[in-house]
Amino acid sequence: MLSDSTVASESLERLEAVDEIGRCVDRLEALLPQREDTEVLLDFLEDDLREGFEAAAEVQAHFRQVLETLDSPNLSPAALVEAGEDFRILNRLEYLHVTVTQLRKRLSMAAGKLRGSPFER
């Protein structure tokens, strides 16, 4: 089981990532043309980033739990099988794949808008 300090540290890291996401999306917004389709794109981009970080954190927590199982003084065959049977993590990995694919598409769209903006570099 994860210690309270580990959980608190991971929660703080997530909060810092959330703040960083908002800051970075706001920076991109300032560089893109102010249009309704840009706002929609940025909303989806921000959602993809937040959901991707959340899914990645869940996958990381799963690997930590596997390590804790392996480190347990009461390691048993049943514990090993149970540690490997977390099908929810397989679903989160599939979801993460979809999110990364969507993120790639949205970043390409933002690049196209940025290229045509007066801020082109």
Asked if residues 82 and 43 have their Cβ atoms less than 8 Å apart, the reply is no
Q: pLDDT > 90: what percent of the chain?
A: 74
Work out the mean pLDDT of the chain and round it to a whole number.
Answer: 87
- Dump pLDDT digits (tens) for 8-60: 666 656 556 668 999 999 999 999 999 999 999 999 999 999 999 999 999 99
Asked if residues 31 and 96 have their Cβ atoms less than 8 Å apart, the reply is no
> Measured between alpha carbons, how far is 121 from 119 in angstroms, rounded to an integer?
6
Question: For residue 121, what pLDDT is reported?
Answer: 45
Asked if residues 25 and 49 have their Cβ atoms less than 8 Å apart, the reply is yes
Whether 2 has a pLDDT exceeding 60, the answer reads no
Asked if residues 45 and 107 have their Cβ atoms less than 8 Å apart, the reply is yes
Asked if residues 60 and 70 have their Cβ atoms less than 8 Å apart, the reply is no
